[in-house]
Amino acid sequence: MEVFYSSTRDKNNRVTASKAILQGLSNEGGLFVPDHIPELDIELSDLAKMDYKQIALEVMKRFLTDFTEEELKNCIDNAYDEKFDTDVIAPLVEAEGAYYLELFHGATIAFKDMALSILPHLMITAAKKNNIKNEIVILTATSGDTGKAALAGFAGVKGTKIIVFYPKNGVSPIQEKQMVTQTGDNTFVVGIHGNFDDAQTGVKKIFGDEALKKEMDEKGYQFSSANSINIGRLVPQICYYVYSYAHLLKENRIEEGDAINVVVPTGNFGNILAAYYAKNMGLPIAKLICASNENKVLYDFFKTGYYDKNREFKLTTSPSMDILISSNLERLIYHIAGNDDSKDRELMADLSGKGIYRISDEMKDKLEDFYGNYATEEETALEINRVYRSCGYVLDTHTAVASSVYQKYLKETKDNTVTVIASTASPFKFTRSVMTAIDPAYEKLGDFELVDELSKIGNVKVPKAIDEIRTAPVVHDNQCDVDKMKDTVKSFLGI
Ligand SMILES: *Cc1c(COP(=O)(O)O)cnc(C)c1O
């Protein structure tokens, strides 16, 4: 059965998968959601015999139904190739009684590579299918990792340009260096004087600007989004949860049909929503454990049913989770309201007007598979230290938030279900925070000295992505104020 995608804010706005990917955000500002979740109608024992790419095909062909199998296979082959430093693509590492699903073996050593290495291929294929002649301009707001992963994915891809906005003082030095050294004539990188929410709000405003859209069209351009609001980001993320299950089954760590728990360090709610979709396809997942850092809007939401962004924005050592408006939560809201677009519209209007909304008790009851908690800065550092001291495995700060929350969950529930923890970044990406958590004496070392030291104590090779930026020249030095984002876009495009 074909899956169509409708807007969370207008059910009648219903498009094919390829159109939803091209468009990113729907016209009234809603997000595209599948009108039904396809069933994973294949034996788990058969999945256990497949490799990552084969499993990805099984998942993606059920969601992206207007793509042919040939097209999807082609996209998958172009994405999950030697850009990854392991054929396995997403290794599961057993440590401390849980399985860390390492999603950081791609070009930019963070989990966003899992989706962003395939998105450009899905997008070009979608453009071809829909006879699009315009050049596609990818506009992205990033809290650090999306930016580089999107730049790496789209750089040099014909028929596309990519513009990335990041908070000038809100990303790690290595994240910034990764972005500003990006080569490729079709890439533009800008630091804004504001935080990630400012960047994201600014990008959403540009997407909603009808006059600009018309002007762009006349000049042969159209916008699309590589942010995690694009369903072309979300669907590839479902694959690794299915892969995890299949792998655990293959390795006899679980029996067919056993449930597993997943723990996800969460920011924009894309990664954990993918796990929710995997569960709703029929993958045996029991608890979806949502881990936040000190920006714990989601923890409060799961506890109280109130989503309240009116609070201080905190810069933490897990910057990719420093988010007060978790965009993808809107999709969950729509689903738990019974696919009700008017309810979604009402709540989102409350969010943009008052900064707060409350879900009904009936909706809250549908969240029982979720467990939310958070880790403070101190707890995050302690978790990195604890895991390293006990088994030598080095966690990055985001993964440590998840790991710390998992420990809290265990203490509270004594639930001994086999658990997969999404490991979203390589520790090499957040070296200073990671190393000083292991020993404060590392504070005095320089950034790249820390890299070498981490390689030594963790007994892991320095990833190629880090080696490359040691000497790469800075090629982007643009900055702008939040209210100048649109002008900046226009000047890049020469319109
Ligand atoms: C983006 C990111 C997250 C948060 O993922 P969401 O899908 O936005 O919830 C967590 N960890 C890292 C390292 C990230 O880059």
Domain ranges (residues) in the chain? 1-495
Average pLDDT over residues 96-106: 97
Quote the pLDDT of residue 367.
98
pLDDT digits (tens, 9 = 90+) for 168-208: 999 888 889 999 999 999 999 999 999 988 998 999 899 88
Strand partners, 34: 5
Instruction: Tell me which of 171, 266, 277, 297 to substitute to probe ligand 1's pocket, judged by most ligand atoms within 8 Å of the beta carbon.
Output: 266
Quote the pLDDT of residue 276.
98
Quote the pLDDT of residue 226.
86
Quote the pLDDT of residue 208.
85
Residue 386 has pLDDT above 90, yes or no: yes
Instruction: Tell me which of 172, 321, 395 to substitute to probe ligand 1's pocket, judged by most ligand atoms within 8 Å of the beta carbon.
Output: 321
The reply to whether ligand 1 has any atom less than 6 angstroms from the CB of 458 is: no
Average pLDDT over residues 91-116: 96
Atom 1, ligand 1: which residue's CA is nearest? 320
pLDDT digits (tens, 9 = 90+) for 432-479: 999 999 999 999 999 889 999 999 999 999 999 898 888 899 999 999
Token pair listed for 322? 């420093």
- CATH number of 1-495, picked from 3.40.50.1100, 3.40.718.10, 3.90.1150.10, 3.30.930.10: 3.40.50.1100
Quote the pLDDT of residue 25.
84
The reply to whether ligand 1 has any atom less than 6 angstroms from the CB of 71 is: no
The reply to whether ligand 1 has any atom less than 6 angstroms from the CB of 112 is: yes
Residue 144 has pLDDT above 80, yes or no: no
Q: Which residue did the predictor score with more confidence, 418 or 178?
A: 418
Backbone angles phi, psi at 179, to 5 degrees: -75, -45
Which one from 19, 49, 73, 112 is the annotated catalytic residue?
Answer: 112
Question: In which band, very low, low, confident or very high, does the pLDDT at 220 lie, cut at 50, 70 and 90?
Answer: very high
The CA-CA-CA angle for residues 151, 154, 159, to 5°, reads: 140
Residue in 418, 397, 367, 416 with CA at minimum distance from that of residue 244: 418
pLDDT digits (tens, 9 = 90+) for 110-141: 999 999 999 999 999 999 999 999 999 999 99
The reply to whether ligand 1 has any atom less than 6 angstroms from the CB of 429 is: no
Residue 228 has pLDDT above 80, yes or no: no
Question: In which band, very low, low, confident or very high, does the pLDDT at 28 lie, cut at 50, 70 and 90?
Answer: confident
267 and 323 in contact (C-beta within 8 Å)?
yes
Residue in 29, 444, 377 with CA at minimum distance from that of residue 208: 29
Quote the pLDDT of residue 158.
86
Burial 312-348 (b: 16+ CB within 10 A, else e): eeeebbbbbbbbbbbbbbbbbbbbbbebbbebbbebb
Query: CA 280, CA 332: separation in Å to the nearest integer?
Result: 12
The CA-CA-CA angle for residues 254, 258, 261, to 5°, reads: 90
Average pLDDT over residues 229-248: 97
Question: In which band, very low, low, confident or very high, does the pLDDT at 250 lie, cut at 50, 70 and 90?
Answer: very high
Residue in 328, 437, 335, 252 with CA at minimum distance from that of residue 25: 328
The ligand 1 atom at the shortest distance from the C-alpha of residue 429 is: 13
Q: Is residue 354 flagged as an active site residue? A: no
Instruction: Tell me which of 268, 277, 325 to substitute to probe ligand 1's pocket, judged by most ligand atoms within 8 Å of the beta carbon.
Output: 268
pLDDT digits (tens, 9 = 90+) for 150-173: 999 999 888 899 999 999 999 888
Mean pLDDT of the chain: 95
The ligand 1 atom at the shortest distance from the C-alpha of residue 266 is: 9
Residue 307 has pLDDT above 90, yes or no: yes
pLDDT digits (tens, 9 = 90+) for 259-288: 999 999 999 999 999 999 999 999 999 999
Query: CA 316, CA 34: separation in Å to the nearest integer?
Result: 34
Q: Which residue did the predictor score with more confidence, 91 or 29?
A: 91
CA of 198 to the centre of ligand 1 (A): 18
